[in-house]
Amino acid sequence: MISPAALAADPHNAIVQLVTVDERVRPTGPLSGVPVAVKDLIDVAGLPTRCGSAVLADAAPAREDAAVVAALRAAGAVVVAKTHTHEFAFGPTGDIAAEGTCRNPRDPQRITGGSSSGSAAAVAAGLVPLAVGTDTGCSVRTPAALCGVVGLKPALGALPTTGVFPLSESLDHIGLLGADVGIVASAFSALSGRWIDPSAPVAGTVVGRPTDPYWRVHDPEITAAVDRAADALGAAGALLREVRLPGIDEFAATYQVIVGVEAYTTHRRWLAQRSQDYQPATAARLQAAAGYTAADYVTAQRTRAALGAELSARMLAEGIDVLLLATTPVRATPIGARQVDAPDGTPVTVVPALLSLTLPFNLLGWPAVSVPAPAVAGLPIGIQLAAVRGGEQAVLAAGARILAG
């Protein structure tokens, strides 16, 4: 992990200057003195949780920390800020919120990705080495990819969501964003009580590369970056195989129904009483979700369970430990753009594209990480690893090896 001494050595780090404290009262623990930013979907005692929405403009300060924040403090971390979120976490772009757009530090005219937009931007800008977000379909990994930082979505339930405003209780995960794999591994170890060693060897790890049309990307540079990542893992002794995931399209299609119904259920009263306080795009998505029936929802959940079990069994039968693929099929798009022409000439609808390659792992509950592709010119590219087995240890060790080149 990054030590407090190393952080303090940077005289330009205003956050570190802010949290420098007398040694007699310096917090102790594995994250001692590390400044952390927290997505404004997550309760921090004494501060309001506004979720990026005017609906909660008058929210009272939270009475207590969310479970993950309390655990961070117990580990010695210092919470220094709450960060921008796409309104109620209901979107992958990060440019829809009562506070306005969150801008990408790599190019302020482009999106950060969302919904953990501010957490990714704060890390990418060097303001903090570690931030907390949530991930229901892409919301840690996509902004990590577009901003060029590390974003971990642990396994479903690995970190508690108590004290977090829900988007979809079936799929919500707490996630971590960091400047490098080491700080993310240290934070996850501290929060979960399970030691992660990102320097562990990857020799013998069986890495699957999905070949179904579903996983197509639209930028040749992204394809090339994933190929280089595969080469790096192969050079370290990992075994590369092409794999297919039958039924992936039908499986992924359950996501919109599940999230839509659960989000609408949370918001239906506010939406009926004060729809004008929502951003128009959020209100439209919630109102569209009202059209799903109970039968639609139950069918989606049953399909998710059946196909998820089949996909998991197939990967295990083929001996796959980790899947390697891109995090997003395109790089950061212009703020406000909802359709773009990709480098390969394909018209791309931005919102579903930014969710497409990540959401299957929320449906499956597998841990997944996005790491920035090394030595990329221009806008960052995210490389995604998802663990069939081996958990967070497997994906973080593989991610560290990719970053090492």
- 3-state per-residue secondary structure call for the chain: CCCHHHHHCCCCCHHHHHHCCCHHHCCCCCCCCCEEEEECCECCECCECCCCCHHHCCCCEECCCCHHHHHHHHCCCEEEEEECCCHHHCCCCCCCCCCCCCEECCEEEEECCCCCHHHHHHHHCCCCCEEEEEECCCCCHHHHHHHCCEEEECCCCCCCCCCECCCCCCCCEEEEEECCHHHHHHHHHHHHCCCCCCCCCCCCCEEEEECCHHHCCCCHHHHHHHHHHHHHHHHCCCEEEEECCCCHHHHHHHHHHHHHHHHHHHHHHHHHHHHHHCCHHHHHHHHHHCCCCHHHHHHHHHHHHHHHHHHHHHHHHCCCCEEEEECCCCCCCECCCCEEECCCCCEEEHHHHHHHCCHHHHHHCCCEEEEECCCCCCCCCEEEEEECCCHHHHHHHHHHHHHHC
Res 3: pLDDT: 40
Measured CA to CA, the distance from residue 390 to residue 402 in angstroms comes to 17
The answer to the question of residue 263 being in a domain is no
Question: φ and ψ at 109, to 5 degrees?
Answer: -90, 0
The answer to the question of residue 121 being in a domain is yes
Measured CA to CA, the distance from residue 271 to residue 363 in angstroms comes to 27
Measured CA to CA, the distance from residue 161 to residue 276 in angstroms comes to 29
DSSP-assigned beta bridge partners for residue 368: 153, 386
The answer to the question of residue 351 being in a domain is yes
The answer to the question of residue 272 being in a domain is no
The answer to the question of residue 275 being in a domain is no
Largest CA distance in the chain: 60
Instruction: Give the amino acid at 75.
Output: A
pTM confidence score? 0.93
Question: Is 124 buried (19+), middle (13-18) or exposed (0-12) by CB count in 10 A?
Answer: buried
CA atoms within 13 A on the CB side of 259: 23
Q: Domain range spanning residue 342? A: 4-250+292-404
Give the pLDDT of the chain (405 residues) as one tens digit per residue.
334 344 444 433 434 434 444 444 566 789 999 999 999 999 999 999 999 999 999 999 999 999 999 999 999 999 999 999 999 999 999 999 999 999 999 999 999 999 999 999 999 999 999 999 999 999 999 999 999 999 999 999 999 999 999 999 999 999 999 999 999 999 999 999 999 999 999 999 999 999 999 999 999 999 999 999 999 999 999 999 999 999 999 999 999 999 999 999 999 999 999 999 999 999 999 999 999 999 999 999 999 999 999 999 999 999 999 999 999 999 999 999 999 999 999 999 999 999 999 999 999 999 999 999 998 999 999 999 999 999 999 999 999 999 998
The answer to the question of residue 27 being in a domain is yes
Res 1: pLDDT: 36
Question: Is 25 buried (19+), middle (13-18) or exposed (0-12) by CB count in 10 A?
Answer: exposed
Q: What positions carry a catalytic annotation?
A: 39, 115, 139
Q: What is the CATH number of the domain that holds 80?
A: 3.90.1300.10
The answer to the question of residue 45 being in a domain is yes
Question: φ and ψ at 296, to 5 degrees?
Answer: -60, -45
Number of domains in the chain: 1
State the CB neighbour count (10 A cutoff) for residue 361.
Answer: 24
Question: φ and ψ at 291, to 5 degrees?
Answer: -75, -10
- How far apart, in Å, do the first and last CA atoms of the chain sit? 20
The answer to the question of residue 173 being in a domain is yes
